[in-house]
Amino acid sequence: MVWTVLVFVILLAIMGKFGWGPMIAAIEDRERRLREERKAAEAARAEAQRIQADLEARLAEIDAKSREAMAQAAKDAEAFRSRHAAQAHDESKRILEKARAELEMEKQRLVRELRQEVATLSVMAAEKIVRKSVDDGVQKSVLDSFFKELEQKRAN
């Protein structure tokens, strides 16, 4: 047993001098590297969180700008639509008024022609009834007085 204890003590001394020193140094070196890697990982995580927050802020800013741009585009489109609707309304009103004026002028022209035709037919009928010929001057004066009478009757 003495020999076992002696061998154990010698082995402990050899291990202490040659084995445990390098082994403890390796373990401490490994612990130091793990701490450094953990600190680097925490720094990287903090940097990633900062970058993520920055990106989220930029995305929120871009989203706000795009909403603002869309709102402005909608306002511009509505203003454009309103302006052109008003112009189209004014243009249609102008065309309608022009058409009414043209119709009124055409109506007046047709009434004049009809009056002229009626007057001519009346004079011809009267001429045939009387069986005498009326000269152009008399015909014109009769027509003029006939038109005046018609205008007076129409005005009343």
Tell me the two tokens of residue 125: 């009928």
Residue 53 lies in a domain: yes
Structural domain range at position 136: 16-155
Residue 77 lies in a domain: yes
> Is the pLDDT at 37 greater than 70, yes or no?
yes
Residue 87 lies in a domain: yes
User: How many residues can be counted in the chain?
Assistant: 156
For residue range 79-129, what is the model confidence (pLDDT) as tens digits?
988 889 889 889 999 999 999 999 999 999 998 888 888 877 777 777 766
- Count: domains in the chain: 1
- DSSP character for 16? I
